[in-house]
Structures are given as C-alpha cells and as structure tokens.
Structure 1
Amino acid sequence: MKCPICGKPASERYRPFCSRRCADVDLARWLRGDYRIPGEPVVDPDKEE
C-alpha cells in the first residue's frame, strides 16, 4: 500500500500513511476543508419563516 500523500510505502505505525508528517498533512487538509464535496446549501428548518 502506498501513502496517499507522498506515494512512499505505508508504515504499519501510521497506516495508511508512511510517516507522522504525512498523517499531519492529511489532518491539516481535513481541518481546512480541502476534502469537502460541493453541494447545495442546507436550509435550517428552525430559521425558516
């Protein structure tokens, strides 16, 4: 299995990543919203008039 960030072989300890650095890079991408899926805005039924 290859690391999804850099393509090196995955490490058992950080699977599916090769290192802590690549795991942290992936976490940062999640936190910034880089993996979001575009879609229609959700309407909050409590705020509808």
Structure 2
Amino acid sequence: MRDVEPGRRRAGPSKPDPCPICGKPPEAAFVPFCSARCADIDLGRWLTDRYVIPTAEDEDEDADGVGSRSDRNG
C-alpha cells in the first residue's frame, strides 16, 4: 500500500519565506529577516505606527458611519 497518491510528492522541508522587508532569503539568526538591519527597519515601522493591528473597536466605529468617538460624546 502506498502512502502517497501517484504523481504527488510527500511534504518535505519547505523553502523559507523571503525577508518581508527586502525579499532576500532569511538568515537563521534573524528569522524571518535576512539581517539585523531589516529587523530594525521592521521594528521602527511598528514603533512609528506604520503597522497597526485593527481591533474590534475600530471595526465598530467604521461600520456605524457616525463620526469619531469625540463627535458622539458631545
């Protein structure tokens, strides 16, 4: 009995995703980045609010079509 259908390959080690900043292959010491420089660039983007994780509160404000929270309070 075969474990894999004919014509299909077994899942093996996959190729790592490229660095999200520059696209180069990642280095083990900086995964998922290729260098300390790219890791620092990413950190800087988080610290300067260029990356934002949406929250349920943000979705509620967008969905109601009413202005900002300060408009509703007074």
Same fold judged by TM-score > 0.5? yes
Compare CA radii of gyration and give the structure with the larger one.
2
Q: In proportion to residue count, which structure has more helix?
A: 2
- Percent identity (aligned): 51
Give the Cα–Cα distance (whole angstroms) in 2 for the partners of residues 34 and 24 of structure 1. 14
Residue 6 (structure 1) shift: 0.1
Corresponding pairs, count? 43
Per the alignment, residue 18 of structure 1 pairs with: 34
Task: Name stretches of at least 5 consecutive residues in structure 2 with no aligned partner.
Answer: 1-16, 62-67
Normalising by structure 2, what TM-score?
0.50
Gap regions ≥5 residues in structure 1: 43-47
Aligned equivalents of 1:25 and 1:16: distance in 2? 13
- Aligned residue among 39, 43, 46 for 1:27: 43
**Higher RCO structure, 1 or 2 (CA under 8 Å, sep 6+):** 1
Q: When the two structures are superposed, what TM-score results if normalisation uses the length of structure 1?
A: 0.74
Q: Which runs of 4+ in 1 moved over 2 A?
A: 37-42
The residue identity in structure 1 corresponding to 2:37 is: R
- How far the C-alpha of 1:28 sits from its partner, in A, is 0.2
RMSD of aligned alpha carbons: 2.3
Secondary structure of 1:16 counterpart: coil
